[in-house]
Structure 1
Amino acid sequence: MLMGELASILDTQLSASGHSALSDRLFETRRLSIELAAPLSAEDMVVQAMEDASPTKWHLAHTTWFFETFVLTPCLSGYPLFDEAFNYCFNSYYEHQGPRQPRPKRGLLTRPSLDRVLAYRQHVDLALAQLLAEHTNAPPAFIHTLEVGIHHEQQHQELMLTDILSLFAANPLRPTYRPAQPRSVPALSEPPRWIDFAGGVYQIGHEGKDFAWDNEEPRHDALLRPFRLADRLVTNREWLEFVADGGYEAATLWLSDGWAVIGRENWHAPLYWESRDGEWFEMSLEGLQPLSLDAPVAHVSYYEADAFARWSGKRLPTEFEWEVAAAEAPKQGNFLGTAALRPMPATAEPDGSPRQMFGDVWEWTQSAYLPYPGYRAPEGALGEYNGKFMVGQHVLRGGSCVTPQDHIRPSYRNFFYPHQRWQFLGLRLASEVA
């Protein structure tokens, strides 16, 4: 089945499901996944470059499996499974659902074919349209599960792009996901401004009735000392100064585990940076491009971000400081919808408010990924979504240039292990108020 045929089918389903806001969002999200995969060949979609990444074909199938498993099977009477073997192939980490293909070996799934995966998506989408048509007054539990599925697929849309970047960066031909787009990139001449925030007791966590992940709750008090936050993200130009000053060779700047990682992995610069004849380039979704000096640095691990902050005489913000600062910034920025597909330089804000709080790069915080006071994981399989990962990772905030904009909110908590850097991961600096 061709990608265009499936997109056309999705348009039909959108009409058939009653034009409700929820069904519109569902099928628009499903269609976007197909659009993001359209520039790729069938060969591109079956390979994974490393254990953290997954093939595009697997993402397309897994997000479909999620709806089949957690929405259709329990909610649509008489729903026929597309293929019983797909539970093993496309389950990710849900122990409730039984054994699964090991994550590092997802690239071995040359079968089922791409055509069969696309037929699987059609099968499930038709059933979702039928289910929505039958549930014009759906119970809250059903609506919540469908919302989880939509936001889950948005997470995988971001992963599709970062995983294909990982694959293309490992290819000696340096292929492009799309041709380079002409754009005007403003120069960033001034150093960051520093914004002071008062200490006190602040409310942290999700507020209201809109969708949020369980790890954003419960809302609770956090005591903060006065702090200062840079008004923009750290740039490639500033990172080059760190590299030139021997930042990757100075053991005193590094956490012990980080020093071990950069020695073992031979890191001397952010992931995807390349030096050629004294000039720096960066692999992007538009292929190998000259390093954009005033764009935010991306693809750096927590260890690198922490070392840079020490070198700067600053530190990383806590996730609570970040959330307090984000409350004063509009939820605008360089997201997937801008189609830049890479971090962009900060623009001027005449009122002196924080810049780049949302989009461009996920921002490392110094906060360990832990449950909020009073947190309880939901019951059942969906309780495995966040709670069981609350150890050994750090929180990131704000979204990136490949995050759908309506997926993000100030309370959103992303999390990665401190050595990981294949996502669009960057930083802004913080300090105490003198």
Structure 2
Amino acid sequence: MNTAVASAPPPATMHDAALAVRYAGIRARSVALAAPLSPEDAMVQSMADASPSKWHLAHTTWFFERFVLGSRPDHAPFDADWHYLFNSYYQSIGPAHARPQRGLLSRPSLAQVLEYRARVDQQVIALLQADALDPQARHQLLLGLHHEQQHQELLLTDIKHALWSNPLQPAYRDDLARHEAPAIPLEWRDAPEQIVEIGAPAWPAHPEFAYDNESPVHRVLVPAHALANRPVSNAEYRAFIEAGGYRDVTLWMSEGWALCQAEGWQHPLYWDDALEREFTLGGWQRLDRHAPVCHLSYFEADAYARWQGARLPTEFEWEAAAAGQPAHGHFADADRLHPGGASAPGQGADTALLQLFGDVWEWTSSAYGAYPGFRPFAGNLGEYNGKFMNGQWILRGGSCVTPEGHVRASYRNFFAPSARWQFSGVRLARDPA
């Protein structure tokens, strides 16, 4: 999310003085994202899957204190009790406050958390400017920057849910850019059967950053298939609703149908019942017919695909299509914080596959699992990804609240199939006739 952030991840060979500039920019961006919020806003936790904005600000700071400053024998903790409060799930280094109860943390105050950030930033930047970090601490700092960008996205998705859950449903900001443009017709792009290389070289042995779950590079046979040239639009998804898609059990997976009935799903999260408006980070807005539909669970995306006589792409089909393409699109840096149509400014309508990056995360039909030969990050940071490879599904491409430069063709996001509060949408795939 991020005008202050460089557009591409730094190579591991970046000089520490340049890395200090990038560190300061990313850290400042997080504070800027929280600036529209009151202290009361910043401690709200509207559901167990979300976290308060204040906690995001503190946890990302704890990461740098624990894994960068904490590697130095002369480091004195800012507050030893905060290690418990702001640890997330690193059980190998100690217990953590229960995730569903993060909204109970009225203390420390937001002002104290911001002071904590400033103190840690001052120490980290001083070490970088002095070239005083050993290689391990430097690698952990680089990982921490990408980790912070993930939490910038979560801060926005979580506060959107919190504000929508408030009966007053206030806007996060009332000055967000909004542009509507007609989407180009949905067409199919054929891809032949081929063997493709999937994944990214393991970091930090390779200088370009990638998470451990993206490696190693390996070959996969991708059968012949076709992909839609753009994500499904709001108008197209509305037709599914009006045709009775939420009432037709034959379109749904069993678990998805049970959830749909139990929670009374009738349309995407944040739509009104008249199917005319949706709640955005800019408050209630008229539904943009041409923009990609978002805030769908995996079950909703899959049901829509079945209704269309299609399916969701595999993550390998998606990556094969995205490989070699620049990761350009509507990211958080555009400061609209909502998806836009495929022919909106900056999107070339003559491109074979539009909006692979940005706007909405695209559900795939691939379960989140390890690649052949997967090795987690060394040490405590091995808990970062691998232990979540169960009951999750892969999404690709980033969204309108993802920081530009944070994602790449090999990037693997993952959520439970019931998740709806993320900016998740759908691109159709189909097999040869």
> 1:63 maps to what in 2?
60
Map Cα deviations across residues 17-36 of structure 1 (whole Å, 9 max, x no partner): x9822111111000000000
* Residue correspondence of structure 1 range 236-255 to structure 2 within 5 A: 236-255=234-253
CA contact (8 A) 2:44 2:52 kept: yes
Matched, 1:149 2:156: no
> 1:168 maps to what in 2?
163
More moved, 201-210 vs 119-128: 201-210
Q: Structure 1 142/362 Cα, relative in aligned 2: closer, same or farther at 3 Å?
A: same
Please report how far the alpha carbon of residue 241 of structure 1 lies from its aligned counterpart in structure 2 after TM superposition: 0.3
Map Cα deviations across residues 40-96 of structure 1 (whole Å, 9 max, x no partner): 00100011000000000000000000000011111x341110000101110111101
Letter in 1 for 2:413: N
Letter in 2 for 1:168: L
Among 107, 115, 118, the residue aligned to 1:119: 115
Q: Please give the alpha-carbon distance, in whole angstroms, between the structure 2 residues aligned to 1:328 and 1:230.
A: 18
CA contact (8 A) 1:87 1:97 kept: no
Q: Secondary structure at the match of 1:333?
A: coil
Letter in 2 for 1:254: W
Q: Please give the alpha-carbon distance, in whole angstroms, between the structure 2 residues aligned to 1:142 and 1:49.
A: 35
Q: Secondary structure at the match of 2:362?
A: strand
Map Cα deviations across residues 119-164 of structure 1 (whole Å, 9 max, x no partner): 111111111022213326x544333211100000000000000000
> 1:418 maps to what in 2?
417
CA contact (8 A) 1:397 1:412 kept: yes
Among 69, 76, 81, the residue aligned to 2:77: 81
Matched, 1:196 2:157: no
Q: Secondary structure at the match of 1:310?
A: helix
Please report how far the alpha carbon of residue 180 of structure 1 lies from its aligned counterpart in structure 2 after TM superposition: 4.5
> 2:266 maps to what in 1?
268
Q: Secondary structure at the match of 1:68?
A: helix
Higher relative contact order (CA 8 A, sep 6+): 2
CA contact (8 A) 2:394 2:413 kept: yes
Cα root mean square deviation, aligned: 1.6
Letter in 2 for 1:96: S
Report the TM-score, using the length of structure 2 for normalisation.
Answer: 0.92
Q: Structure 1 349/133 Cα, relative in aligned 2: closer, same or farther at 3 Å?
A: closer
CA contact (8 A) 1:332 1:359 kept: yes
Q: Secondary structure at the match of 1:20?
A: helix
Q: Please give the alpha-carbon distance, in whole angstroms, between the structure 1 residues aligned to 2:207 and 2:70.
A: 27
Letter in 1 for 2:180: V
Please report how far the alpha carbon of residue 227 of structure 1 lies from its aligned counterpart in structure 2 after TM superposition: 1.0
Please report how far the alpha carbon of residue 182 of structure 1 lies from its aligned counterpart in structure 2 after TM superposition: 5.5
Q: Structure 1 46/392 Cα, relative in aligned 2: closer, same or farther at 3 Å?
A: same
Please report how far the alpha carbon of residue 359 of structure 1 lies from its aligned counterpart in structure 2 after TM superposition: 0.3
CA contact (8 A) 2:238 2:275 kept: no
Q: Please give the alpha-carbon distance, in whole angstroms, between the structure 1 residues aligned to 2:349 and 2:156.
A: 33
Letter in 1 for 2:357: F
Among 37, 46, 57, the residue aligned to 1:49: 46
> 2:179 maps to what in 1?
184
Q: Which runs of 5+ in 2 are unaligned?
A: 5-14
Among 254, 268, 289, the residue aligned to 2:285: 289
Q: Please give the alpha-carbon distance, in whole angstroms, between the structure 1 residues aligned to 2:378 and 2:32.
A: 34
* Residue correspondence of structure 1 range 279-428 to structure 2 within 5 A: 280-347=276-343, 349=348, 351-428=350-427
> 2:428 maps to what in 1?
429
CA contact (8 A) 2:176 2:335 kept: no
Q: Please give the alpha-carbon distance, in whole angstroms, between the structure 2 residues aligned to 1:328 and 1:131.
A: 36
Please report how far the alpha carbon of residue 115 of structure 1 lies from its aligned counterpart in structure 2 after TM superposition: 1.1
CA contact (8 A) 1:328 1:354 kept: no
Map Cα deviations across residues 220-265 of structure 1 (whole Å, 9 max, x no partner): 0001111100010001100100000000000000001101110111
Q: Structure 1 101/166 Cα, relative in aligned 2: closer, same or farther at 3 Å?
A: same
Letter in 2 for 1:129: I
> 1:11 maps to what in 2?
none
Q: Please give the alpha-carbon distance, in whole angstroms, between the structure 2 residues aligned to 1:329 and 1:177.
A: 33
Q: Please give the alpha-carbon distance, in whole angstroms, between the structure 2 residues aligned to 1:24 and 1:423.
A: 30
Q: Structure 1 91/182 Cα, relative in aligned 2: closer, same or farther at 3 Å?
A: closer
Among 90, 105, 109, the residue aligned to 2:105: 109
> 1:132 maps to what in 2?
128
Which of structure 1's runs of 4+ aligned residues deviate more than 3 A? 180-184, 348-352
Q: Please give the alpha-carbon distance, in whole angstroms, between the structure 1 residues aligned to 2:182 and 2:56.
A: 37
Q: Structure 1 244/59 Cα, relative in aligned 2: closer, same or farther at 3 Å?
A: same
Q: Please give the alpha-carbon distance, in whole angstroms, between the structure 1 residues aligned to 2:259 and 2:275.
A: 26
Please report how far the alpha carbon of residue 279 of structure 1 lies from its aligned counterpart in structure 2 after TM superposition: 5.2
Percent of pairs identical after alignment?
53
CA contact (8 A) 2:230 2:355 kept: yes
Q: Please give the alpha-carbon distance, in whole angstroms, between the structure 2 residues aligned to 1:180 and 1:193.
A: 34
Q: Say how many residue pairs are matched.
A: 413
Letter in 2 for 1:124: V
Q: Structure 1 279/367 Cα, relative in aligned 2: closer, same or farther at 3 Å?
A: closer
Q: Please give the alpha-carbon distance, in whole angstroms, between the structure 2 residues aligned to 1:273 and 1:295.
A: 13
Among 78, 90, 106, the residue aligned to 2:86: 90
Q: Please give the alpha-carbon distance, in whole angstroms, between the structure 2 residues aligned to 1:426 and 1:433.
A: 23
